[in-house]
Amino acid sequence: MSKGLVVLAYSGGLDTSCILLWLKEQGYDVIAFLANIGQDEDFDAAQKKAEKLGAKKVFIEDLRSEFVQEFIWPAVQANAVYEDRYLLGTSIARPCIARRQVQIARQERAQYVSHGATGKGNDQVRFELTCYALYPQIIAPWRIPEFYSRFRGRKDLMEYAEKHGIPVPVTPKAPWSMDANLMHISYESGILENPKNHAPSDLYQMTKNPEDSPSEPDVLEIDFAKGVPVRVTHVKEGTSKDTPLELFCYLNEIGGKHGVGRIDIVENRFIGMKSRGTNLILQSCILLMKCCGSLSLSLSGFWYSPECEFVRHCIDKSQENVEGRVQLSVFKGQVYILGRESPKSLYNEELVSMDVQGDYDPCDASGFIKINAVRLREHNRLQGAAQKTL
C-alpha cells in the first residue's frame, strides 16, 4: 500500500535521480517535476529517465519568462548582491521552482513535496520556507537518517546509480554538484571543496576565457523604465530586443562572448558554514547591475515572507522614476559605462559645473562644514582634556 503521493523537484542529476528511486523503495508514489529556467538540458531525455525510474507522472514546465519578470527583475531593481559579489542566481530560482511545485502538488492532490537539497546548504532552507508558506508537508531525504546513513556522499550515490542502471552526468573524476539557469551556472563538490585548489577551466560553460574573447568591444544601449530594462540595442549592428526573456538571453550571449561574470568565492551560508560557491557565472545581471547602481532575504529563502513582500513593494515604489538609457561597452571580461541619460534625472549640469555658479551660493558651504565639524571639535576637546590628565 502506498505511503502517499510525492511531488519531487527533479533535475535529472545524480541526487534527485537516486532520490526518485529511493522514494519508490520506501513505498511512495512519485511525480517528477522538472522546471525549465534556462538550463542547458535535454528535457525529453530527462522525462524518459524519470519514467524509467518509476515516476507516476512527469511535469516539465517552462518557467523562463516568469523567472525573468517576477524574480530576476525585482533583484535587478533592488541591486541585490550578496557579500558584494554573488548575484543570487540559485537563491531567487528556488522560490520560482517551489511555487510551481506546490501548484502541481495541489492540482494532483499529493500529500508531500520533496527535494534533493543536502542538509548542509542554503537550498533546503529556500525550498522549504517557500513550501511551508504554501504547502506544509515536506520530505527532505538528506535529513532522514535512513537516507544519509546509507548515502554518506556522492560516491555512495554514484555506486547506487551504477547498481540500478541510472545514467548520471557525474563521475568520480568530475563529481560536481551543478546548478544552472538563465542567471548563472555554479559548481560545488570534489576538488572545489578545498578553497586552495584551482577550478578546472572546463567548468566555465557559459563564458569564453577573457583572453580568447574578441579584440573589439560590443557597445550596447539599455533602456530602463521603473528600474527594469525594457530594450537593449546593439549600437553598431542595430539589433534590438525588447521582450524580457529575449532581452535577458541576448545580454547573456554578449556577456558570455566577452567572458563577463566569472567569479570564485567563499561565502557564508545561512545555516552557519562557509562554502566555496565556486565559479558562479553570470552575464546579464552583471551588465544590468552595473547600470542600476540588499535583498539578503532572498538568499535565505524568505521570498514569500511578509517582510520580503514589504521590501519588494518598497523597492517597486522607489523605482517608479528610474527611467533612462545607459550606454556601455562589453570587452575582455569587463563592462564599462560610457554614458547615461534620463528624463527624470536629479543631475543638474549647471548646478554642479565648475565653470558656472548656477543657483548656488558657495558661502552656504561654510555653515554646512561647521555644523558637520561640531562633533569633531568636541571629540578633539575631550581628547585634549584627557591628555592633560595623564
| Active-site residue set | 15, 94, 123, 177
For residue 145, the 8-state DSSP code is H
The half-sphere exposure of 91 on its side-chain side, counting CA atoms within 13 A, is: 24
CA dist., res. 280 & res. 123, Å (int): 15
In the chain, % helix, strand, coil (3-state, to 5) comes to 40, 20, 35
Q: Nearest Cα to 297, choosing from 91, 57, 87?
A: 91
Lateral strand order in the sheet of 177-180: 177-180, 185-188, 274-281, 262-268
Query: How many Cα atoms are found within 13 Å in the side-chain-facing hemisphere of 317?
Result: 6
Burial label, 249 (beta-carbon count in 10 A; 0-12, 13-18, 19+): middle
Query: Distance between CA 301 and CA 90 in Å, rounded?
Result: 10
Place of cell 543631475: 347
